[in-house]
Amino acid sequence: MSKNLIQLLLLVSLALSSSCSAVKVEYDANGIIIDGQRKIMNVASIHYPRSTEQMWPDLIMKAKDGGIGAIETYIFWDVHEPRHRQYDFSGNLELHRVFQLVHEAGLYGIIRIGPYVDGITFSSISGVSQCGFHNTPGIELRTNNEIYKKEMETFTTKIVNKVKVAKLFAPQGGPIIVAQIENEYGNIVKGYGAAGKKYIEWCAKMAVAQNISVPPMINTCNGFYCDNFKPNNPKSLKMWTENWTYHGGTKLGCTSDGLYITTSYDYDAPLDEF
């Protein structure tokens, strides 16, 4: 075996070992800490079901070339569970493949499990109408309701286990550094009263119990209240930092929210719809 070939094999081995190494992810009041180093990064939102799987490598590399450090995406309940307890992770729903590509590109990943996700979703509450349990007697959505919480926990556990098996969480050597549960609950919490507060507390406990080994997050902020724009604490920047969508894409296959609702989620994203 030639000296040059040996050197090449050593370089490949080092590259593979570094890309698969476990990463410790922590956080404090000031932000996220990865392997003891505080990180501030630009994060891009790319929703994988809103594009084809053939588009993913190009979208991810263009995001990286644009200075992005992490890719985040919702997990859409309705497309992954089109019928109650019948799951689909094929084609452009291969979420594990998305994060594998993110990892291969040298980027971090953020998984937003929800399972309620907002964002002009594929159904008014992602998954509920498609799965068929929205008409279940006694069910109330996104509140302290045992029937709904059981369905939510079942789907969340399904996703978390799938990600664990694929070794996609950072401490497993994967790219995912943060996982989100629920979404934008601050818009509606007052309407639910005490039951809403109990529900969001349950969400937090349920997420922690999943033992995902990365920081769990709950996004409870309100959206589009720009007339009352100010930092929510003295350490926050007085600027808008959440122009989230890097590639909006399209709701394919007649999966729009309803009649006369656009299939586009462009949002003036840096990468056009197609």
Q: Catalytic amino acids?
A: 184, 242
Query: Which of 183, 169, 192, 242 has the alpha carbon at shortest distance from 218?
Result: 183
Please return the burial class of 53, using the count of CB atoms within 10 Å of its CB with bins 0-12, 13-18 and 19+. middle
Q: How many CB atoms lie within 10 A of CB 227?
A: 5
Cα dihedral sign, 157-71-223-214? positive
Angle ∠(24,200,265) on CA atoms, nearest 5? 80
Alpha-carbon gap, residue 233 to 212, rounded angstroms: 28
Query: Which of 3, 15, 40, 16 has the alpha carbon at shortest distance from 177?
Result: 40
Query: Which of 170, 167, 135, 171 has the alpha carbon at shortest distance from 151?
Result: 135
